[in-house]
Amino acid sequence: MKKLMIVFSMLWTLGPLMSYGQTKPKVMVMEIKAEIDPRMSRYVNLALDNAEKIEADYVIVEMDTYGGVLTDSKDIVDRILDLKVPIWVFINKDAASAGALISIACDSIYMASGATIGAATVVQGGTGEAAPDKYQSYMRSIMRSTAEHNGRDPRIAEGMVDERIAIDGITTEGSVITFTTKEALKYGYCEAQVSSIDDILQRNGVPDYELIRFEISSVEKVIAFFLNPFISGILILVILGGLYFELQTPGVGFPILASITALILYLVPYYLNGLAQNWEIIALFVGIILILLEVFVIPGFGVAGIAGIAMTVGSMVLIMVNNDFFNFEMVPVNDLIIASLAIFGGLTGGVVLLFVGGVRLSHSSFFKRISLTDTQAQSEGYTSNFNTGMDLVGKTGTAYTVLRPSGKIMIEGQIYDAFSRGDYIEKGDMVKVLEIEGSTLRVRKVTA
């Protein structure tokens, strides 16, 4: 019995080890093959969240980018440095600017033949000119600290940003550092030249593994779809059209529902991707409220209406670009142009829809089903005369109130709406009914 207990104890101890030996290491692969912007930052966050969720043993980044927004690059670097498992980058073509920074943040750098890394000078969006020195200084400090974190020469990292840095045998003053694969190997910015992810894993002693390629979910694909400026313009058109048709046919519900849905689809994707800031969304709603006040409360068209339109249009443009409040130094000019065209295109389409679509809607079968279009003619027995059948013409009474020229009169204890032929009649004066017009009586003053 004692021997049997010992056997069970040994099996219990060895069981997990045997199970562990049969489990393949999980390798998750993610791609950075586009501009570094809020969308890419969100993609990286989702990918690394997934790596933690599936308990990946290694993460490999396939890199091919010319860079992008500095702030989003810094967010990605911070997330990579916080990762608890090894993360390697495979540069199969280019890792320029922000791509170089992200690559240096990874634990190991592997490059394909013909690949490059470097040229991390910060440039102004759209112009391509070097950004002010405060941005260069910030980029140099990030590159230096990131390189030091992973045991790479920080002076070389700075030289990828600042053309004023000269390093003997590597670069002269007046040019930033960009390494080929062989140069990166020589100066410690590449662990090995490889041709595939399998080469990387073989070199690191991971011959048998489970490869998992990260792909965004269907919901994220839908969000990315609605980030398209053309789609944003269509959503703005639906927002305006829905509001207009709801005002034309109050109580129907469908137009205002379409308008609210379009507004949500417009705001949520930009908010989730970090483009739409809280203050921009607040400004949008304040602008809409000012327009509604101008239309329904404040007579005429003045400051409230103009301010409302300016805030609404301006906030919609700001929501679509990666600005820092009213600082647009790092926003590409093309992004501002595209956002402005999308907004004004949607507004123009909305105006056309109001004039053209409004007429067509009023003659459509759908509009006839939800609205009253029949004419209630007097010849068909319809009348607004509440006094029909009452023999009041010729009768006399007294002015119950002052008639100037409208008011009320009393005849045989009953009060009626009445109006005079133009002269004022004081309360208590004698009046005579001349005619019944609709729901009121036309009277004149009876003189002595």
Mean pLDDT within 9-16:
44
Most confident of 6-10, 123-127, 433-437: 433-437
Sign of CA dihedral 111, 273, 213, 33: negative
- Which residue would you say has higher pLDDT here, 229 or 412? 412
pLDDT at 19 over 50: no
**Could you report the per-residue pLDDT of 54-68, keeping only the tens digit for each?**
999 999 999 999 988
The set of residues, in sequence order, having a beta carbon less than 8 Å from that of 212 and lying 6+ positions away, is 26, 27, 28, 29, 54, 56
The torsion defined by the Cα of 249, 257, 237 and 126, in degrees rounded to 10, comes to: 160
- Which residue would you say has higher pLDDT here, 95 or 248? 95
**Could you report the per-residue pLDDT of 328-353, keeping only the tens digit for each?**
766 666 677 777 887 877 777 766 76
DSSP characters over 298-313? SSSS-HHHHHHHHHHH
What is residue 262's predicted lDDT score, i.e. its pLDDT?
87
pLDDT band at 1 (very low <50, low <70, confident <90, very high): very low
Q: pLDDT exceeding 90 applies to what percent of the chain?
A: 30
pTM exceeds 0.75: no
Taking the C-alpha atoms of residue 173 and residue 425, their distance in angstroms, rounded to an integer, is 100
With b for 16 or more beta-carbon neighbours within 10 A and e for fewer, the 196-208 pattern comes to ebeebbeeeebee
Mean pLDDT within 110-115:
95
What is residue 4's predicted lDDT score, i.e. its pLDDT?
40
What is residue 299's predicted lDDT score, i.e. its pLDDT?
63
What is residue 381's predicted lDDT score, i.e. its pLDDT?
47
Angle at 150 between CA 147 and CA 152, to 5 degrees: 50
pLDDT at 327 over 90: no
What is residue 67's predicted lDDT score, i.e. its pLDDT?
87
DSSP 8-state class, residue 122: -
If you average pLDDT over every residue of the chain, what do you get?
Answer: 81
Taking the C-alpha atoms of residue 43 and residue 255, their distance in angstroms, rounded to an integer, is 34
pLDDT at 148 over 80: yes
Domains of the chain plus CATH, in order, are 22-216 (3.90.226.10), 219-370 (no CATH), 382-445 (2.40.50.140)
pLDDT band at 155 (very low <50, low <70, confident <90, very high): very high
What is residue 201's predicted lDDT score, i.e. its pLDDT?
95
